[in-house]
Amino acid sequence: MSSLNLDDFTDLIERPDGGIRRDAEARRERQIVPPGALGRLDDLGEWLAAAQSAVPVRPIERPRVVLFAGDHGVAELGVSARPAGSAGELVREVLEGGRPVSVLGRRLGVPVRIVDMALDCDPEALPEDVVRHRVRRGSGRIDVEDALTPEEAEAAFRAGVALADEEADSGTDLVVLGDVSVGGTTAAGVLVAALCGVDASVVTGRGGLAIDDLAWMRKCAAIRDALRRARPVLGDQLQLLATVGGADLTAMTGFLLQSAVRKMPVVLDGVVTAACALVAQRVAFRAPDWWLAAHDSGEPGQAKALDRMALEPLLTHGVTVGEGAGGLLALPLVQAAAALAAELPEKPKESEVPEVPEEPEAPEAPGAAVGPEAPAEQ
């Protein structure tokens, strides 16, 4: 019998401080640039102030990318452009600095942390700090079997909670959350379809490498079959993740919920993080107030999930590569919003405006005639 009670998160998670947000809005109205002239950057600055309980808002100084990695058995059906079980190769490329998230992380000075939850590779092939939380080698094929056992699901969820605590305790002030997976967008599609009550075709996208039409049809069929298995367990979010999620998605859900408990803002990357956020919202309805949607990747499942959570993406560049790259692209906007909210000067108060002295009238020239000009002498 599990001792994990997800209902506790409903009581533990509070909304960002509304009073602080009103103070931030009042400060913004006093600044020299008119409110609204900076567009969404105004809202971002006020959201950050509420999340930090600080006016003026503090700069984002210790952001971190956290990527949860795993292979999904459903990839055996040819639903991905990458071979099944190849997520470990992507992880090694990230660690070696050759992936987009690696390049952006170096350029922006943001460390990238990878957590192996269910990679289908020898754990000795990766560093110990990457593999120490692994729950199993690959998640089950969700169209015909559960992704995880109940015990594995609980272990993965608790790992995500522990990792959120580690980041919060180490001083991380904002997390860019992403995934490194093969088959992960299929599992994400099942979760979104189940929680939004839509058919498989509504949430089936092309994935990070734009699969062809035949692969899309295989993916749609896999989501349809997994969806039949998901519907009977919709009332139990941990069981839902065990049935059609996977170790990486389950850990990500735990991470999101505990980040909200710890009041640590999170930037969501793509469709996989959006699906996990949707599950977390079902657990604790206030949790999405602590998250930002980085970008619109063009995946229909992501759009459906973000719409359900009333989260509007910051960017619309169509970045589908995953791995936190789109989330990192949005980070400079968040940092800019914090800087503008904190550093723009306020308009001087009326009592502080110096009076401009009136200019004295020019003195009349000596001997000048007063009134009509005198007639000239004859």
- Span 98-136, pLDDT tens digits: 999 999 999 999 999 999 999 999 999 999 999 999 999
**Radius of gyration for the chain, computed over Cα atoms and rounded to the nearest angstrom:** 28
Looking at the predicted structure, is the pLDDT value of residue 241 above 80?
A: yes
Query: Which candidate, 297, 342, 300, places its Cα nearest to that of 316?
Result: 297
Q: How confident is the model at residue 64 (pLDDT cuts 50, 70, 90)?
A: very high
Q: Which ranges in 170-291 belong to alpha helices (H)? A: 184-196, 200-203, 213-230, 237-244, 247-261, 271-283
The span from the CA of 94 to the CA of 176, in Å, is 15
Q: How confident is the model at residue 350 (pLDDT cuts 50, 70, 90)?
A: low
Determine the pLDDT at residue 305.
97
Looking at the predicted structure, is the pLDDT value of residue 310 above 80?
A: yes
323 is catalytic: yes
> Which range is least confidently modeled, 32-46, 283-297, 342-356?
342-356
- Is 24 among the domain residues? no
Determine the pLDDT at residue 282.
97
Question: Partners of 64 in the beta sheet?
Answer: 175
State both tokens at 75. Answer: 């990839």
Q: How confident is the model at residue 225 (pLDDT cuts 50, 70, 90)?
A: very high
223 secondary structure, DSSP code: H
Interval 255-279 mean pLDDT: 97
Determine the pLDDT at residue 81.
87
The rounded mean pLDDT for the chain is 91
Q: What is the distance of C-alpha 258 from the center of its chain?
A: 14
Helices H, strands E: what count in the chain? 15, 5
Interval 336-359 mean pLDDT: 78
State both tokens at 249. Answer: 């998605």
Is 258:160 a contact under the CB 8 Å cutoff? yes
- Span 75-102, pLDDT tens digits: 999 999 899 999 999 999 999 999 999 9
Interval 15-34 mean pLDDT: 93
- Is 265 among the domain residues? yes
Determine the pLDDT at residue 278.
98
Interval 318-331 mean pLDDT: 90
Determine the pLDDT at residue 371.
47
- Is 316 among the domain residues? yes
For residue 118, give the 3-state DSSP assignment: strand
Higher pLDDT, 348 or 291: 291
58 by Cβ neighbours in 10 Å (0-12 / 13-18 / 19+) ranks as middle
Across 76-103, b (16+ Cβ under 10 Å) vs e yields bbebbebebbbbbbbbbebeeeebbbbe
Determine the pLDDT at residue 222.
96
Question: Partners of 178 in the beta sheet?
Answer: 67
Cα separation of the two ends of the chain: 126
Looking at the predicted structure, is the pLDDT value of residue 317 above 50?
A: yes
Determine the pLDDT at residue 360.
60
Angle at 198 between CA 197 and CA 201, to 5 degrees: 155
Of 61, 323, 346, 358, the active-site residue reads: 323
The span from the CA of 5 to the CA of 174, in Å, is 26
Q: Tell me the CATH number at 84.
A: 3.40.50.10210
- Is 350 among the domain residues? no
Domain encompassing residue 83: 61-335
- Is 34 among the domain residues? no
Interval 343-367 mean pLDDT: 66
Amino acid code (one letter) for 251 = A
Looking at the predicted structure, is the pLDDT value of residue 356 above 80?
A: no
Domains: count for the chain:
1
Interval 61-81 mean pLDDT: 95
Q: What is the distance of C-alpha 329 from the center of its chain?
A: 11
Interval 260-275 mean pLDDT: 97
- Span 154-204, pLDDT tens digits: 999 999 999 999 999 999 999 999 999 999 999 999 999 999 999 999 999
- Is 349 among the domain residues? no
Percentages helix, strand, coil for the chain, rounded to the nearest 5?
50, 10, 40
Is 160:169 a contact under the CB 8 Å cutoff? no
Interval 53-60 mean pLDDT: 94
Place of tokens 């956020």: 277
Interval 222-251 mean pLDDT: 97
Interval 205-228 mean pLDDT: 90
- Is 80 among the domain residues? yes
Is 6:253 a contact under the CB 8 Å cutoff? no
- Span 364-378, pLDDT tens digits: 555 544 444 444 444
Question: Partners of 114 in the beta sheet?
Answer: 67
Give the list of residues 6+ apart from residue 33 with CB closer than 8 angstroms, or none. 344
Is 266:168 a contact under the CB 8 Å cutoff? no
- Is 223 among the domain residues? yes
